[in-house]
Chain A
Amino acid sequence: MNIWESFKIALSSIWNHKIRSILTMLGIIIGVAAVIIIVAIGQGTKKQMTDELFATDKNAIQIYYEYIPPEGEEGMFWEEPELTSEDIQTLSEVPGVKAVLATNQGWGMMVHDEEQGEMQITGVGPEFFSARDIKVVEGRALYAADNDGLNRVLLIDTIAREKFFKETENPIGEIIDLNDNPYKIVGVYESPLPEQFRNMESGEMIMPRSVISMMFGNREIEQLSVIASDPESISETGRLAAETLTAEKGLENGKYSTNDFEDYERELNTMISLLTLLIGSIAGISLLVGGIGVMNIMLVSVTERTREIGLRKAIGATRRKILLQFLIESITLTSLGGMIGIGLAVIGSIIVSKFSPITATISPLIVLIGVSFSAFIGIIFGLLPANKASKLSPIDALRYE
C-alpha cells in the first residue's frame, strides 16, 4: 500500500464525516486565515508608511537649526540665524553633497477671471528644478536672474492650470492676481509630490524665494536640505553638512542638525514588526487550540473506529500502515484547513485593500509557511491518536463493543 492509497482512505474518511471534519478544521481555518491576514496587513502598513514617509525625500535630508539655551536660562526667546547665499555655497562644497535646496513658504489667494483659490507657494532658487527633478510641461523654469532681479514671476502646477485655465488657453505670459498683487506666469510644472500630499483643490505654485521674502516678509531661507550624490550615505552626508554649517556660522547657543531617516525607518519597521508579531502570535494560539481540537477528534475517531482498525489488522495491515493511515488523515485534515484558511485570507486581504488605504500584501513565503505549519500541526497532534490506533491488538480491537 502506497502513500496515495493511504491518502485516498483518509480523504474518504474525512468525506464520510463531513460536518465533523469541517468543525474540526475550523480552528485551523480561522488560525491560518488570521495569522496570514494580520501579517499581510502588517506588511502592507509597513510598506505604505515607509513609502509615504520617504516618498519625496529618499535622497534629500533636511538641515534644521536647534537652539541650545545657555546654562541657567529658559531659552524661551531665540532667533534663528539668517542664512545667506555664502552658506549655501559652503554647503554645496561639502563632500558628498550633490545639491543644496533652500526654500521658503507662503500662502496666497490667487484670482484669475472668475476663479479663485488658496494656494501654497514654495519659494525656490534655480537649483530646485534639477535637484528635485521638476518637470516643466509648459513655459520655462526659474533662472538665477529671477531670484537676483526679484522678478515677480511664478510657475503653477498642472492642478492649478486645470482649475484656472481652459485647455485651449495658453497660461504662459498671463498676469494673475495673488494677494492683490500682479504676477506673471512663466511656466507650468508637474508636481513631484505623491498624490495624497498634493493640494487637489487649487494646486500649488513656485516662485523665486527672494520674491516671497520681499512680498511676504519671510526670511529668504526657511528650509534647508542637502541632496547626497550617493543616496546610501545620505545620513552621513547630512551630518557632515550640518556640522560644517555649525562651524561656519560660529554658533554658540545653537547648532544645525539633521533627522536620521535610516534610524527613523528602522524604528518604524521594528515597531510594526513587533506589533505584527504580537497580534500574529495571538492568532497563532488559535492555531494551537485548533491543533488540540484535531487531536481530540482523532482520538474520538480512533475509539469509534476500533473495530475497523481490528479488521484492517486481521486482513494484514501492519502497525506502521495503521499509524500512517491515521497520521495522513490528520495531516490531510489540517492541511485542508490550512488551504481553506489561506483562501479566506486572500479574500480578506482583497476586501481590506479595497475598503481601506492599506494594501494587504500576501507573500508566497507566508502562504508556504501557513501550509507547512498546518501540516506540521497535523503531524504533531495526529501522532498520539495514530500511535494509539496502531498499538491495538487485532483481536481486542475486533471484540471492542
Chain B
Amino acid sequence: MMKLSDITKVYGKGSLEVPVLHGIDLTIEDGEFVAIMGPSGSGKSTLMNIIGFLDYPSSGTYELNGEQIASAKESILARLRNEHVGFVFQQFFMFPRDNAIKNVASPLVYSGVSKRERTARAKDLLEKVGLGDRMKHLPNQLSGGQKQRVAIARALVNNPTILLADEPTGALDSKTSEQIMKLFTQLNEEGKTVIIVTHEEEIAAYAKRIITIKDGLITEDRRVTS
C-alpha cells in the first residue's frame, strides 16, 4: 500500500520557480489498476516520477507499506527502483546495442543475480509478453509495440509489486495500444498493482480507478464498476 499526503513539487529556484503539484493526497492499495488522467502539463508525469522513486517531492510525506520514504537516502531509492517498482516509459528507453534478452535482464545486473539466472528469467518474460521469437533482436530491429513489450518485460524482471507506466501507448497505434493494455490488464489480474498515466479516455477505460489531475491538484477520483 502507498500513501501520499500533501505532496508538492516545485521545479527551479528563486524567480524561476515553477510550482507543479500543489498538495496531492492519494492512497493506492495493493492490486489496484489506476489510471491517472489530465491535460498535458497538469503534472501527471511529475506525480508518477515521485511515486516511482525517480524524483523527490518538494514537501509532503510518502509512506510505502507503512515506511516513510519521502526523504530516504539515494541508495535506498535506487534499491526500491530496482526491486519494488517496474517503470515503463512512453519513449521505451532501451540500451540500443544490447539485444532484447540483455535489455530485459539489465535491472538484474544491479541486484546481483547470476548471468545464467538473468538470461533464464529474461527469456521467460519475453515469452510471456509474446516476443519468444525476437529474443536476439536489437531495439532498432523491433517495432514500437515490440519495444514496449520488451520494456514491460524489463519492468517485470525483478518481480516488483508495482508496475508504473507513463503514457505507455503514447507512441503506438490504436491496435498495438489495445494489445499493450490487454497485457497490463492481464498483469493486474495476476496481482500486480498497475498505475498508468494517459490522457486518452479509451486507455483509461482499462483501469478500475481513474484519477484526474488539473493544475497539480486531484479534481476527481472515481472507481469504475464494470
Contact = CB atoms under 8 A, between A and B. Distances in A.
A115 to B, nearest CB: 79
A12 to B, nearest CB: 8
Interface in A274-316: 307-308, 310-316
B55 A314 contact: no
B214 interface: no
B75 A314 contact: no
Contact of B83 (A314, A316, A317, A318): A316
A6 to B, nearest CB: 9
Nearest to B111: A316
Interface string B62-93: 00000000000011001101110001010001
Contacts of B74: 318-319
Question: What is the size category of the interface that chain B forms with chain A?
Answer: 20 to 34
B81 A1 contact: no
Given A314-B87, A318-B75, A395 B93 contact: no
A400 to B, nearest CB: 12
Contact of A321 (B89, B107, B110): B110
Interface of A is mostly: helix
B109 A5 contact: yes
B26 to A, nearest CB: 19
B97 A311 contact: no
Given A1-B110, A393-B55, A316 B93 contact: no
Question: What is the size category of the interface that chain A forms with chain B?
Answer: 20 to 34
A370 interface: no
Given A315-B154, A320-B75, A394 B54 contact: yes
Interface string A132-143: 000000000000
A398 B89 contact: yes
A43 to B, nearest CB: 45
B49 interface: yes
A307 B92 CA distance: 12
A315 B83 CA distance: 9
Contacts of A315: 81-82, 87, 106-107, 110, 154
Nearest to A316: B82
A313 B81 CA distance: 8
Nearest to B106: A315
A356 interface: no
Given A314-B54, A394-B54, 5 more contacts: A16-B97, A308-B95, A318-B110, A394-B55, A395-B49
Interface of B: 49, 54-55, 74-75, 78-79, 81-83, 87, 89, 93, 95, 97, 106-107, 109-112, 154, 158
